Structure 1
């Protein structure tokens, strides 16, 4: 059987090209995409798809890339979509990324040259122990790398090139979807599912080699607004009720030994304040609420509301408003109805010579919402690690295995049709 080979370092060359294009999304922006610069990468991807012969590749007005690799078999095969996102996290700069390839890694500390205080150590990055002899890509110490999710972009592009260049490799219709704004929770807001026309999908946005994730958090967002009472600070006794201090009391009254990101792991959820702003008269805090089942998620929202009510009782002239909105739900609720998606993903990983790791992810992907939009969509590994920060890294060899897995998925769906 034909097998993907990373000829002339084409995979890392694609990846290095993509990470140097600034695509940071902006949660404060009302536009779609949230930053126009995300389209710069979209245009590059479309041009490359057209160059390899994917004739319908295009970028729409919202910054989404759609493309179709036609079937080359007479079998009736389900249409499979591969999806990655183009934006990088607002948490760390993605401007002027300088990627560095550390060839033949031997377990040493990786000191990043533009900021010697940024050091990747095996004792802190446990997956590095499995990378001896591999090639590690980092940024230079002043930015994130952008492996989340440009590793996935490069891998899908490599797989697309392989399928287009090897028509004897049989597969059904393959759809490609590249999204903006995943990092700010809006990655599929403007996806046209009917236009996409896929039956099942796989996001390529995972971490450890061999992982396939069929379960995510269920997620809500919460905005708490406190209206206090302002007064001149020199004459405020018995009058001022500071919205800032009330908010501080609310946050400090939430559980610290549980229900916070710093104290939870595995299947434990949390209530996490992410931004705070305001003044004495009015202040606002935004939370993210996370849990693996909807009942626990609801309970977390109720606990937050009860905490606010308890605090506000001590401030008779103050008031509050708590708005909780749905963000996404645990995709396992959908994927359990379509076990063949995971079964084929696991078989594809095995054929790449890897031990599969079926697991949950303490986060969400575009696949979380796509699954509830009619496109059941687990997440497979991309070889990206330590996302959203200056210590982010990716393994070239793991990325190669991700390409091989994508190609295997396409082949197995055709075989089983």
Structure 2
């Protein structure tokens, strides 16, 4: 099938699929030790497996950890690299994903979108620049009390619709195509138990980006740090000169963090940051959890050293108190791997162009499953899924941008076959 023919496909099911998928609550839970962290993620997984099998994709299955694997077999005599498309099933713990009511604002004309179940939630045209590109499109939102779930059920719906179209149109020549749907990406565990031997792919693309036409080959490098303060607990009636509250020491450390740099609210582009994400404790013991981010991996150690120096200087004012500071690697900048395989990005960029968009190469102030997959031996950039304002009640996506993502997937697989 030619570029022209792919671009003239019109029987998309992606919007309908997306609206069904977001109504299934798949919120992950950072405090759960299980995999998946919430059993309800498997409810979507079971549906996806059923739908893949109904398309004739006979090996579709979900494992005990909630990972879904499937193969669309090659239909060419050429030896083509095995390409995987990946999206995550969970939604963010930052906002409720229960009882999502997707609303379609047909033929959007640039108006502010007041969400009916909480009219204080307004998606303002002036505050969402990409709404300017949606005039005449069908914009999908939630109803005001939940997130929408475009992160990343848009990506799932796009991969599913592309799979349907590939099974329907054998004239689109391609090699073996693998599908991977993961749990728990939002809590940093998305590929913890992914079986790459079972997947057996050479290269991959996550469908988890934002604006239509974008493809991302660079993420933050990321660590997590835990600072534990051991204070001195004494009955408050007899505490004079004795009590040294771990809660107050922890608060002083947070207050001493830089306010005009090195924080999410004071940085942009490729600036790194140190960000406290959770604090708990008592007089005797308090714990602060931090995420530490930078596009340059070497800078993580500098940020961690600065954070520990701040903690040490505060704790030293309390001679009977101590602290421990531990750092755990989370993920690394996938560009370090992707630069060794330039053809992956070249094909991704060309696929976006063939789908009728201006291709834009971007870096992410965040991470994707592709960050870790790349360092696990599966190089994996991130293609747009079309969603915006992730993790909150103002999240939105347009049906037409999701259709463009489906076309991009079809062009990607066609290009790998063409160039083989």
Give the superposition deviation at 1:140. 0.2
Q: Which residue of 1 aligns with 2:280?
A: 277
Q: Any idea what the Cα deviations from partners look like across 1:305-345, whole Å, max 9, x if unmatched?
A: 11111111100011111110000000000000000000000
Structure 2 residue runs without a partner (length 5+): none
2:117 to 114, 119, 125: 114
The 5 Å alignment of 1:5-16 reads 10-16=13-19
The 5 Å alignment of 1:138-157 reads 138-157=141-160
1:365 to 356, 368, 376: 368
Residue 406 (structure 1) aligned with residue 409 (structure 2) = yes
Query: Does the 8 Å contact 1:156/1:403 carry over to 2?
Result: yes
Give the superposition deviation at 1:234. 2.3
Give the 3-state SS of the residue equivalent to 2:99 in structure 1: coil
Q: Which residue of 2 aligns with 1:168?
A: 171
Q: Which residue of 2 aligns with 1:181?
A: 184
Residue 314 (structure 1) aligned with residue 301 (structure 2) = no
Q: Which residue of 1 aligns with 2:300?
A: 297
Give the 3-state SS of the residue equivalent to 2:163 in structure 1: helix
Alpha-carbon distance between aligned partners in 1 of 2:47 and 2:328, rounded to the nearest angstrom: 35
Give the 3-state SS of the residue equivalent to 1:250 in structure 2: helix
Q: Which residue of 2 aligns with 1:88?
A: 91
Give the 3-state SS of the residue equivalent to 1:3 in structure 2: helix
Alpha-carbon distance between aligned partners in 2 of 1:238 and 1:109, rounded to the nearest angstrom: 58
Residue 50 (structure 1) aligned with residue 62 (structure 2) = no
Give the 3-state SS of the residue equivalent to 1:288 in structure 2: strand
Q: Any idea what the Cα deviations from partners look like across 1:190-212, whole Å, max 9, x if unmatched?
A: 00111100000000000001000
Query: Does the 8 Å contact 2:86/2:207 carry over to 1?
Result: yes
Give the 3-state SS of the residue equivalent to 1:123 in structure 2: helix
Residue 349 (structure 1) aligned with residue 352 (structure 2) = yes
Residue 123 (structure 1) aligned with residue 123 (structure 2) = no
Give the superposition deviation at 1:188. 0.1
Residue 376 (structure 1) aligned with residue 379 (structure 2) = yes
Residue 210 (structure 1) aligned with residue 198 (structure 2) = no
Give the superposition deviation at 1:231. 1.3
Alpha-carbon distance between aligned partners in 1 of 2:354 and 2:53, rounded to the nearest angstrom: 29
Alpha-carbon distance between aligned partners in 1 of 2:72 and 2:277, rounded to the nearest angstrom: 41
Between 15-24 and 298-307, the greater mean CA deviation after superposition: 298-307
Alpha-carbon distance between aligned partners in 2 of 1:186 and 1:148, rounded to the nearest angstrom: 15
Give the superposition deviation at 1:4. 5.8
Alpha-carbon distance between aligned partners in 1 of 2:226 and 2:261, rounded to the nearest angstrom: 21
Query: How many residues matched?
Result: 417
Give the superposition deviation at 1:123. 1.2
Query: Does the 8 Å contact 1:54/1:69 carry over to 2?
Result: yes
> CA 1:71–1:242 in structure 2 vs 1: closer, same or farther (change >3 Å)?
same
Residue 73 (structure 1) aligned with residue 76 (structure 2) = yes
Query: Does the 8 Å contact 1:20/1:96 carry over to 2?
Result: yes
> CA 1:6–1:154 in structure 2 vs 1: closer, same or farther (change >3 Å)?
farther
Alpha-carbon distance between aligned partners in 2 of 1:291 and 1:6, rounded to the nearest angstrom: 41
Q: TM-score, normalised by structure 1?
A: 0.99
Q: Any idea what the Cα deviations from partners look like across 1:147-206, whole Å, max 9, x if unmatched?
A: 000000000000000000111110000000000000000000000111100000000000
Residue 249 (structure 1) aligned with residue 260 (structure 2) = no
Residue 224 (structure 1) aligned with residue 227 (structure 2) = yes
Q: Which residue of 1 aligns with 2:138?
A: 135
Query: Does the 8 Å contact 1:6/1:400 carry over to 2?
Result: no
